[in-house]
Structure 1
């Protein structure tokens, strides 16, 4: 028994006439009558009472009709579900993000737009540092991640920059430099720096230290923090100063003030990393929104 047999049967039951049903199905009447007879033989009982004016369902046919309609509806629902999944409109998206990404308005707006356009996609968030998230992305543990470069774009990874932020200096409240509107590297000559270094030694902190050295400042490292927010909290504790992306000004613990840092380079780049080859519909939709 095939779905077409059920469609033929339902059309005949609704039309109560072989010829009218055949016209609705776009086929000739004799083949339709033959298909109905084959269906009845497979079921093991007649489903229609044949009359001179047409056909009418008998008790067996009425019982069969309810089940046939349900099966056809379920088959159509299965088709629609598969099509929605292929378009990335349903399912789960596992999205990684660095802690600092949650303070960036471009990132939060992208997530908001995605949730508005694809409300039936369940989004699972996973926080970590950029190196960890890129490793999880390569292994397939997450689908996409908001991260900060540098990292290798091998193995099919793609990176879409979303924001390039200027840097600011986080200072303890009451620090003499807080009276200034803007700080240059030379202003920080005697300050202890709080860094948030990567295991690899590369990253934004390394670029900041290199830029400071190019401007004649040899930074004095006072403390290392596991992440950006930890660095800001250590500033609040009076353990030093930190140079952080401007979006972290939204993080305002008691005892910290921020001042612009007079360096054109480096910029704090933040973007979306994905495994582009073979990416599913949900990731493709996120990429499309990110690329604008």
Structure 2
């Protein structure tokens, strides 16, 4: 004979078994004492045996009641585990990862390729892309507005983050097409030392210095022609002749819209685009997005935008990925700097 017993009935039974007093058990369960007694009698009828002996001296477990206790506890514990598993599954299904960036990483379909691999493991997780201004070189990681972010190295507050390099690209020089050097096929950076440069906001000093190439100036200060805070501002400043700027190869199309050209420049280190996340973030979704990015960047480059990446980018453990990325020479800037 099959007996259908509700979890509520087992909870009521255990409360009485532990209190051996119907009134105290009812108070513990926040139900009426008559209602509790009625549920226990119904359970006894289903089981075909009394669970408690009741008389004027009190309440005592019967042998059947004593035999039921460990099984009732096991059933309720298993159901509690099932409820927790369901909550976790629903939470994962409803989860959203915010991916920060200053401008779109682009680069040969990098984002769609990562999304495809990630959603194989987390089909219910929504990926939301959010753009941040150049004033925040962490693209939302610093204040928690993003969960992961595509950022340019060097990264401000590097000890707070982990990252893998997803693209390494030469830096080009962007010039008004009327500039004397625009007719050249290549330009040496030493020829640009006296030129006015467009600079990132002072709020991002590491990246500002990188895109001014201070490390290639042998101590000579940079001339600042104007400050720029977006790709559009950079383009307008270039067209107006306010200065020139370095730009990552993959972002050159943001500036070469007419009136502006880019040329290879010798004597400066490459730029490096990284996928970064906060150190100590325990979420599986974050780890798996990093794993997906690492796998994608190990594939052969399909165009000039996706440069060589360190072999260690494929290492999916956060600490190893961080250390591997830090072994490379720091260089780069916001996925937005002067076409950066």
Other-structure match for 1:145:
149
Other-structure match for 2:5:
5
Contact 2:148–2:275 (CA under 8 A) maintained in structure 1? yes
Other-structure match for 2:227:
224
Give a deviation string over 1:47-88, Cα, whole Å, max 9, x none. Answer: xxxxxxxxxxxxxxxxxxxxxxxxxxxx999677545457x5
Other-structure match for 2:267:
263
Which is further off, 200-209 or 272-281?
Answer: 200-209
Give a deviation string over 1:255-286, Cα, whole Å, max 9, x none. Answer: 11111111242x22211121242432221211
Other-structure match for 1:125:
129
Other-structure match for 1:285:
288
1:240 CA displacement:
2.1
Normalising by structure 2, we get a TM-score of 0.55
Q: Structure 2 matches for 1:2-151, cutoff 5 A?
A: 5=5, 41-42=42-43, 81-82=86-87, 84=89, 88=92, 90-99=94-103, 101-105=104-108, 107-114=110-117, 116-117=119-120, 118-129=122-133, 132=136, 134=138, 136-148=140-152, 149-151=154-156
Query: Aligned to 2:276, what secondary structure does the other structure show?
Result: strand
Q: Structure 2 stretches of 5 or more lacking a match?
A: 8-38, 48-79, 296-340
Q: Distance in 2 between matches of 1:178 and 1:162?
A: 30
Query: Aligned to 1:202, what secondary structure does the other structure show?
Result: helix
Query: Aligned to 1:254, what secondary structure does the other structure show?
Result: coil
Alignment length (residue pairs): 227
Normalising by structure 1, we get a TM-score of 0.63
Q: Which contiguous aligned blocks of 4+ residues in structure 1 show a shift greater than 6 angstroms?
A: 43-46, 75-80
Contact 1:95–1:145 (CA under 8 A) maintained in structure 2? yes
Q: Distance in 1 between matches of 2:170 and 2:188?
A: 13
Q: Structure 1 stretches of 5 or more lacking a match?
A: 8-37, 47-74
Alpha carbons of structure 1 residues 113 and 237: separation in structure 2 relative to 1, 3 Å? farther
Alpha carbons of structure 1 residues 272 and 39: separation in structure 2 relative to 1, 3 Å? farther
Other-structure match for 1:52:
none
1:179 CA displacement:
1.6
Query: Aligned to 2:234, what secondary structure does the other structure show?
Result: helix
1:152 CA displacement:
2.1
Give a deviation string over 1:11-36, Cα, whole Å, max 9, x none. Answer: xxxxxxxxxxxxxxxxxxxxxxxxxx
